[in-house]
Amino acid sequence: MIRPLLSAAGLCLAMSLPAQALDLEQMSEGDRALLREEIRAYLLENPEIIMEAVAVLEQRQSQQQSQNDSDLVQVNAEALFSDSASWVGGNPEGDITLVEFMDYRCSYCRRAHSEVAGLLETDGNIRYVIKEFPILGAESVLASRFAIATLQVAGDDAYKAVHDALMTYSGTMNETGFGRIADTLGLDANKIIAEMNSDAVDRIIADNHALGQRLAISGTPSFVMGHQMLRGYLPQDAMQEIANEIRAN
């Protein structure tokens, strides 16, 4: 019988051996039942083993996800870091590039807005790229169209001013609201609004959505820093820590 083999110490050894070492295929139904009983009893007496196994599994999955994300970033590096249609801020000559996929109606994007601004200011050596990624409905799309149209019509500084305004805007995302924002900032509202449905704006939004799909981005904010995907909101100190780790390596 197999029971004497499956003492506490023996069971640990048995479970670490290949299946062939126990000749499982040749076991009788009675021996199989006894084996199951011994394993169940051992796990009930030592439940911490289950948690240890789960921790190992989660670590392996996390490592695999990190590697998969790194591969995705490298494959899509040109579209991420060298896209001429996207606004670039921070330090254009920075040693690290931070890319953000954002939506103006996303509450976590709004929270991240000040965190990113603080990071760029205190670090001073991070290049920052914004990817307009509207995924939360029609108003999100309209807001991104307005921001992109501003970049097309009025340039980088105007885009940054509009981007910041939209991140704190509490009204309805429509042409009336956009007109008020443009007037407040001294921009030509009519010209920008006329550009919102242009082919160029269509293409930029479509390209960003396609890029997000290739990167398996399903929510905002999502970041890329160096070759790492950072999925979800992160506070400033956490982003700074990741930047420091990238530089150290």
Predicted pLDDT of residue 64: 62
Q: Residue 86 in contact with residue 117, Cβ under 8 Å?
A: no
Q: Name which of 205, 249, 23 is nearest 102 in CA terms.
A: 205
Beta bridge partners of 99: 129, 224
- Helix-then-strand count for the chain, H and E: 12, 5
Q: Could you give the percent of the chain with pLDDT greater than 70? A: 86
Q: Name which of 142, 140, 136 is nearest 195 in CA terms.
A: 142
Residue 212 pLDDT > 90, yes or no? yes
Q: For tokens 């920008």, what's the residue?
A: 192
Residue-averaged pLDDT of the chain: 88
- Choosing among 1.10.540.10, 3.30.460.10, 3.40.50.720, 3.40.30.10, the CATH entry for 75-248 is 3.40.30.10
Q: Residue 228 in contact with residue 72, Cβ under 8 Å?
A: no
Residue 9 pLDDT > 50, yes or no? no
Which of 58-62, 95-99, 124-128, 135-139 is predicted with the least confidence, judged by mean pLDDT?
Answer: 58-62
Predicted pLDDT of residue 6: 40
Beta bridge partners of 127: 90, 97
Q: Residue 159 in contact with residue 195, Cβ under 8 Å?
A: no
Spatial CB neighbours of 179, under 8 Å, sequence gap ≥ 6: 189, 193
Residue environment code for 33-60, b if the CB has 16+ CB neighbours within 10 A, otherwise e = ebbeebeeebeeeeeeeeeeeeeeeeee
Beta bridge partners of 128: 89, 98
Query: Which amino acid, one-letter code, is at 8?
Result: A
State pLDDT tens for residues 23-44.
667 778 887 788 888 888 888 8
Residue 21 pLDDT > 60, yes or no? no
Residue 69 pLDDT > 50, yes or no? yes
Spatial CB neighbours of 122, under 8 Å, sequence gap ≥ 6: 236, 240
Domain ranges of the chain: 3-67, 75-248
At residue 5 the predicted structure's pLDDT band, cuts being 50, 70 and 90, is very low
- Mean pLDDT, to the nearest integer, of 209-225? 96
State pLDDT tens for residues 99-122.
999 999 999 999 999 999 999 999
Instruction: Give the Cα separation of 248 and 42 in Å (integer).
Output: 45
Helices (H), 97-230: 107-123, 138-154, 156-168, 175-184, 189-195, 199-214
Residue 95 pLDDT > 60, yes or no? yes
